[in-house]
Chains A and B, each alone.
Chain A
Amino acid sequence: MAVAKTYREAVQGAELPSLTLPPVDPLTLALFAGGSGDHNPIHLDREFARKNGFDEVFAHGMLSMAYLGRLLSNWAPPERIREFSTRFVSITPLRAVVTCSGDVTEIAVISGRRCAKLALKTALADGTVTLSGEALIQLD
């Protein structure tokens, strides 16, 4: 499938350049807790995670969404990103390697503007989909 390096090359079926992140480690989660203001101990404190039925802390869903945000902001400037939404499908465990990918599902005219509809996802190295989402990018 063709790769569209930026929104200027958007055509139906084109892929966005994918983004693979370094493994999620405890420092990643501590930095994200501080940087995002989400201090939920389920992402930081193993004892708290265990008390609530998890073996280990796991990554903030919004960390993976922010990674997908990087995929988008590498592709289009902020004022063109009209809609961006995700469903958190499964948990991202510690040490996971997250890959963000997306493709143009449709070029459509919405409220008089040409827009690219994108399908987005994050997945682990074994292929498990962790986030599934969509975005709408204004083309003109």
Chain B
Amino acid sequence: MGLGVLDKTKIGAETEEREIAVEAGMLRLFCQAIGETNPIYLDDSAARKAGYPAIPAPPTYASVLANLAPPKADLVLSVLGADLGRMLHGEQGFTQHKPIFVGDRIRLKQRIADIYDKKGGALEFVVLETSVTNQDDELCATMRTVAVLRN
């Protein structure tokens, strides 16, 4: 038995599937926020000249799409009832199978893969996995997020 306060019976809980269109304007705002300079991420004609059907999404953009299309009940804050002010981002990983492009319609589904604690329950860890699928039912990416709760 762990010493944490989070309900481990919620391992396996998942969100509904959400859909979001990859919009050029939102992607441009993200590129501006991170100072992106590579023209294939900024300019449709540069992307097409490089052989892409449209502007591709930068490497971490799947997590932005997940933020822009939140589930009805956030798995950490609502389903597990954790306090936002106590939450830190511990780890983030992307396994990419196919690029995401402007104009795609992306579907996201997230589940609680694991919950564990360290330091006698002072720190708890929630492992979340998200599938990222496009309009042609191709798996673009899977994301792994570890949220850390300071009890």
Complex interface bits, B135-146 against A, C-beta within 8 A gives 1, otherwise 0: 000000000100
Q: Which of A35, A51, A88 interacts with B89 by CB under 8 Å?
A: A88
> Once bound together, how far apart are the Cα atoms of A62 and B56, in whole Å?
19
Per-residue CB contact flags for chain A residues 60-84 toward chain B (1 = under 8 Å, else 0) read 1111011101101110011101111
Evaluate whether A70 and B34 lie within 8 angstroms (CB atoms) in the complex, with A37-B67, A52-B86 already known.
yes
Would A85 and B94 be within 8 Å (CB), given that A48-B85, A66-B34, A74-B38 are in contact? yes
A21 to B30, CA, bound (A): 16
The docked-state distance in angstroms from the alpha carbon of A48 to that of B87 is 13
A residues less than 8 Å from B92 (CB atoms): 61-62, 65, 85-86, 88
How distant is the Cα of A77 from the Cα of B51 in the complex, in angstroms? Answer: 11
Contact A36 B91 (CB under 8 A): no
What's the least CB distance linking A132 to chain B, in Å? 10
A73–B90 CB distance below 8 A: no
CA gap between A29 and B63 in the complex, in Å: 17
Interface of A is mostly: helix
CB distance from B124 to the nearest CB of A (A): 16
Residues 33-80 of B at the A interface (beta carbon under 8 Å): 33-38, 40-41, 50, 56-60, 63-64, 67-68
Q: Is the interface of B mostly helix, strand, loop or mixed?
A: mixed
Cα–Cα, bound, A81→B54 (Å): 18
Please classify how large the interface on chain A is, using the bins under 10, 10 to 19, 20 to 34, 35 or more: 35 or more
How far is it, in angstroms, between the C-alpha of A79 and the C-alpha of B64 when the chains are bound?
Answer: 18
**How distant is B33 from chain A, measured CB to nearest CB, in Å?**
3
What chain A residues lie within 8 Å of B36 (beta carbons)? 70, 73
* Closest B residue, CB atoms, query A60: B89
Is B30 a contact of A35 with CB atoms below 8 Å? yes
Contact B60 A66 (CB under 8 A): yes
25 A–B pairs (Cβ distance < 8 Å), ordered by A: A28-B33, A35-B26, A35-B30, A35-B31, A35-B32, A35-B64, A36-B63, A36-B67, A52-B85, A53-B150, A61-B92, A62-B92, A65-B60, A66-B60, A70-B37, A73-B38, A73-B58, A73-B59, A79-B99, A83-B93, A83-B96, A84-B59, A84-B93, A84-B94, A87-B91
Interface residues of B (CB under 8 A from A): 26, 29-38, 40-41, 50, 56-60, 63-64, 67-68, 84-86, 88-96, 98-99, 144, 150
| Chain A interface residues toward B at CB < 8 A | 21-22, 28, 31-32, 34-38, 40-42, 48, 51-53, 60-63, 65-67, 69-70, 72-74, 77-79, 81-88
